[in-house]
Amino acid sequence: MTDTDKTVAIVGGTGALGSALALQLARAGVHVRIGSRKLGSAEETVDRLRSRLEDPNAPLSGHVNEDAVQGVEIVFLTVPFRSQSENLTNLKNALGEGQILVDATVPLAAAISGKATRTIGVWQGSAAQQAQEMVPDGVIVVSALHTVSAVTLGDLDNVYEEDILVMSNKKAAKARVAKLIDLIPGLRAVDGGPLEAARIAEQITALLIGLNIRYKTHAGIQFTDLPAKEWD
């Protein structure tokens, strides 16, 4: 990776999943721009994560969302489903051709005051496909990070091994995101196929939430007898 390649943005970076992802990527040497609607919230998260890493110079910076995504190749969207549309609408003029949007959104029924163990139907088929419809022309959507809990991801001493399904219609974009995921200890990126397969991965999230409630844990998924993939 070049220095430019090593900069990513996380819209929703102050939330549980976004800040956990930022923590792990920064530890791996990736510069992370944490995005938020409020600059102060982003900067507070940067301070908190640097404290956890015990490194005042950890490669993290705080920005409002529109500034965070400017000029970076890969943008992670880690907001609840109820905020997906609003965020993508606000980023219409900030995102541009050639960028990759990694959508981690899950259409949980909690978005409409229902249970987090259920999902709601999305007209386009999945939250990721809705994102692809909303982003500007030339922005490539990759769907990933649905099955890892924020607690597990944010654990710097994590010893569990989990597989992360990565879906996209563009192989090169899928490979770029997979290589970032593989930088995180305990995680392995798995080729989940085209973007339409995201509807399946999103459903698995609701299943895992139910399991984790019943078993009082933070389980993820792992595929057996699956060889390591050489990402091109």
- The answer to whether 69 touches 9, Cβ cutoff 8 Å, is yes
Ordered by where they begin, the domains of the chain are: 7-215 (3.40.50.720)
Note the helical H segments in 158-197: 171-181
In this structure, are residues 219 and 180 in contact, taking their beta carbons and an 8 Å threshold? Answer: no
Helix axis angle, 198-215 relative to 127-134, nearest 10°? 130
- For the chain, 232 residues long, give each residue's pLDDT as a single digit of tens: 444 358 999 999 999 999 999 999 999 999 999 999 999 999 999 999 999 999 999 999 999 999 999 999 999 999 999 999 999 999 999 999 999 999 999 999 888 888 889 889 899 999 999 999 999 999 999 999 999 999 999 999 987 799 999 999 999 999 999 999 999 999 999 999 999 999 999 999 999 999 999 999 999 999 999 998 888 7
pTM of the model: 0.95
13: left (phi over 0), alpha (psi -120 to 50) or beta: alpha
* CB contact at 8 A, 178 and 231: yes
Which amino acid is located at 100 in the chain?
Answer: I
pLDDT of residue 114: 86
The CA-based angle 72-59-56, given to 5 degrees, is 155
